[in-house]
Amino acid sequence: MRVLCLDIGDVRIGVAISDPLGISTNGIETHRSEGRERDVAYFSEMARSRGADLFLLGLPLNMDGTEGDRAALVRDFGAALAAASGLPVEYEDERLTTVEAEEMLIEAGLSREERKKVIDKVAAEIILRSYLNK
């Protein structure tokens, strides 16, 4: 099953995809948000063209595990994505994935400007790997 993972932010959306066997992950891009309607259409088409069977969205839980306003926005986006694409949507806890991505990129020697360009894509890969490892 090929999974397309989105790490949804206010401005940027990190995108990663699994291989068909669900073994490896690949960061695709950091997409600049163009508004919900356009983003839903964009990712629906991406899922179709890449043969995705499922959307996985990073769910921004509070540190105590509860869902807040940000999680509600992600769930709302997920519902719109499911309706537009016809694909199921699942959610994965994304707490601290951006911190983990930042640390990985610093260790790799990327400058602050270079990290900014790829951090959301790397966070999406981390979320996807966590989901696949269950």
Statement: residue 105 has pLDDT above 90: no
pLDDT at 60: 94
For residues 55 and 86, give the distance between their C-alpha atoms in angstroms, rounded to a whole number. Answer: 10
pLDDT at 57: 98
User: Which residue is it, tokens 């995108």?
Assistant: 15
**Which residue, 19, 29, 10, is CA-closest to 123?**
29
pLDDT at 98: 82
For residues 113 and 51, give the distance between their C-alpha atoms in angstroms, rounded to a whole number. Answer: 32
pLDDT digit string, tens, across residues 111-134: 999 888 888 999 999 999 999 998
- Give all domains of the chain, ordered by start, each with its CATH number: 3-132 (3.30.420.140)
| CB atoms inside a 10 Å sphere around CB 26 | 12
Q: Mean pLDDT throughout 57-86?
A: 95
**What amino acid is encoded at 116 in this protein?**
K
**What amino acid is encoded at 128 in this protein?**
L
Strand pairing of 3-8 and 12-18?
antiparallel
pLDDT at 122: 92
pLDDT at 30: 94
12 DSSP β-pair partners: 32
